Amino acid sequence: MSATGRPVSATGQPVSATDQPEGATGRRAGPAPDSAARRPLLDAHLVADHRGFRLDVRLRIAAGEVVALLGPNGAGKSTALRALAGLHPLTAGHVTLDGVDLDRPDRRVFTPAERRRIGVVFQDHLLFPHLTARDNVAFGPRRHGLDRRAARARAEEWLDRVGLAGYARQRPRQLSGGQAQRVALARALAVDPTLLLLDEPLAALDARTRLATRTELHRHLTAHRHAALLVTHDPLDALVLADRLVIVEDGRVVQEGDAATVTARPRTDYVAHLVGLNLHRGRGDGHTVRVAPELTLTAADRVDGDAFVAFPPSAVALHRQRPDGSPRNTWPATIVGVQRHGDNLRIQLDGPVGVAADVTPAAAAQLRLVPGQLVWAAVKAAETRAYPAGPARPE
């Protein structure tokens, strides 16, 4: 929701980087993730079946890149993560990490979880309750051949790095949720995994802890040299923490790209809803797109054929009477819902297309906006993006 009404330039490209959420910009000094020519560290085509549900997702992650796998509950995100970790076998496709096949059913290759250089941070941390924080972190290094002393030394080093040096002897139940999740992060990173998987790492935390832990997580992900995949249903986590978003719905990738592209040009209702844009599909003809038999919207961009039109709720203005002077992009609508949305009110409109509009409480009072009220909606063409509804992936 944070992306609601984000300004978009006239060319449809995101405006200057300073307006982007912190995670999406200025991430690290290393090579930019857009160097698609490089061989990806992780190359996966995940085809897996789970209780009648089929996942079919392609994923590529370059070294130093953080990719967010974003999608609603039941979209297959967890299955994808489990397949990568080796906890769920693939039906077809492959998982190739650093040039080595870990799972490739057609060649009968399967590397079990314990022999993959893949670390996992689980949603509810899953720290071993019978071990101290230090021994939890030392668990991985011990399994990788370090003796007890060396493993503990490394564990203490990692606890220090996540700011929990004083908690080495605490057991998980003595830690707060945020602390436990940081220990879990240290535990996963202590074995220096080539790929780090994070499964909703912030979902179980309360709002305050979440903010602090997100910042902490951001710091460590930036420092992590290898690839990372963040599975989440929270767009804010994805936007802050990831370089690139891969959005899955119903087991398929519906859209992928960097944060700016995805937030500016959503391709499904789910993504539009996530980033807080009104999204409609129609047929483009120059600067106009017909989104309903009786409604044509004019956009700043030029597009022909199958096209999306997107505009933020803040770009929708409401009037009691048909506005004069601007015959384009106006239509009569009925108010079907009014909700608080931040400092404003979000008005749900029914009409030729369903649309959300944001108005100030003062304006709402003046216009006496109540459900059932008939109004005129108007959208400025300058704030309306139109783009082709072509293939979901820029390949």
Partner 1 sequence: MTATHDAAPTGSATAGPQRGGAARRRAAAGRVPAALLVPAGLGLLFLVLPLVGLLARAPWTTLPQRLTAPGVLTALRLSVQTATLATLLCLLLGVPLAWLLARVEFPGRRLVRALVTVPLVLPPVVGGVALLLVFGRRGLLGGWLDDTFGVTLPFSTAGVVLAEAFVAMPFLIIAVEGALRGADRRYEEAAATLGAGRWTTFTHVTLPLVAPGVTAGAVLCWARALGEFGATITFAGNYPGRTQTMPLAVYLALETDLESAVVLSLILLTVSVGILAALRDRWVTGP
Please report, as ranges, the residues that interact with partner 1 according to CB under 8 A: 85-87, 112-116, 118-120, 122, 126, 128-131, 139-140, 143-144, 171, 187-188, 191
**Between helices 148-161 and 177-189, what is the axis angle to 10°?**
130
Whose Cβ is closer to partner 1: residue 181's or residue 288's?
181
Burial label, 126 (beta-carbon count in 10 A; 0-12, 13-18, 19+) = middle
Side-chain-side CA neighbours of residue 391 (13 Å)? 3
| Cβ atoms 316, 364 nearer than 8 A | no
- Taking the complex as a whole, the smallest distance from the CB of residue 115 to partner 1 amounts, in Å, to 8
Whose Cβ is closer to partner 1: residue 116's or residue 220's?
116
- Taking the complex as a whole, the smallest distance from the CB of residue 196 to partner 1 amounts, in Å, to 10
Gyration radius (Cα) of the chain, Å: 24
Task: Give which of 85, 32, 41 is closest to 62, Cα–Cα.
Answer: 41
Whose Cβ is closer to partner 1: residue 149's or residue 173's?
173
Task: Give which of 93, 68, 74 is closest to 83, Cα–Cα.
Answer: 93
- Taking the complex as a whole, the smallest distance from the CB of residue 56 to partner 1 amounts, in Å, to 23
- Taking the complex as a whole, the smallest distance from the CB of residue 213 to partner 1 amounts, in Å, to 19
- Taking the complex as a whole, the smallest distance from the CB of residue 119 to partner 1 amounts, in Å, to 6
Whose Cβ is closer to partner 1: residue 79's or residue 329's?
79
Distances (CA, A) of 290 to 14, 294, 299, 308: 25, 8, 11, 10
Give the span between the Cα atoms of 140 and 187, in whole angstroms: 7
Task: Give which of 127, 103, 124, 123 is closest to 113, Cα–Cα.
Answer: 103
- Taking the complex as a whole, the smallest distance from the CB of residue 144 to partner 1 amounts, in Å, to 5
- Taking the complex as a whole, the smallest distance from the CB of residue 146 to partner 1 amounts, in Å, to 11
Whose Cβ is closer to partner 1: residue 139's or residue 387's?
139
Whose Cβ is closer to partner 1: residue 110's or residue 376's?
110
Cα 23 to chain center, whole Å? 12
Tokens in use for 155?
A: 């564990």
- Taking the complex as a whole, the smallest distance from the CB of residue 197 to partner 1 amounts, in Å, to 8
Whose Cβ is closer to partner 1: residue 116's or residue 346's?
116
Residues in CB range of 389: below 8 A, 6 or more apart: 267, 281, 306, 307, 308
Q: Beta-carbon neighbour count of residue 35 at 10 Å?
A: 11
Whose Cβ is closer to partner 1: residue 113's or residue 392's?
113
Whose Cβ is closer to partner 1: residue 171's or residue 281's?
171
- Taking the complex as a whole, the smallest distance from the CB of residue 111 to partner 1 amounts, in Å, to 11
Distances (CA, A) of 63 to 34, 66, 193, 195, 229: 11, 9, 12, 9, 11
